[in-house]
Amino acid sequence: MGREPPSARETRFRENEVLRAVAEADAFRGPFGFQCECTRDCPELVMVDRVDVSAVRPNPERLVVRPGHPTEEARVVLRRDGYLIVELLR
């Protein structure tokens, strides 16, 4: 037969997607598009330089926002022309 049940195909497809995304991210020089993480329902895309992405991810306390956009109480970790990286104060 050689056919996989649909659920197995779907799982494999998802795994491939993840691997591909990782591979591309490694090869991709950036900048990377983040959705602005301010407290508004904000559709703005913020382009983050590759060198700064590791300052944001995988730390869940850190957000990327447009300068001047509101956040919860936070301190500024990095200030760039097009974006701020802030760390939430808890």
What are the residues binding Zn ion (CB under 5 A)?
A: 36, 38, 42, 66, 69
Question: Whose Cβ is closer to Zn ion: residue 12's or residue 40's?
Answer: 40
Pairing of strands 74-79, 84-88: antiparallel
Strand partners, 76: 86
The least distance separating Zn ion from the CB of residue 21, rounded to whole angstroms, comes to 25
| Least distance (Å) between residue 87 CB and Zn ion | 17
Q: Which is nearer to Zn ion, 66 or 80 (CB)?
A: 66
What lies within 8 Å, CB to CB, of 56 at 6+ separation is 34, 48, 62, 63, 64, 85
Specify the residue, 38 or 52, whose C-beta has the smaller distance to Zn ion. 38
Q: How far is the CB of 44 from Zn ion (least distance, A)?
A: 5
CA 70 to CA 24: how far, in whole Å? 32
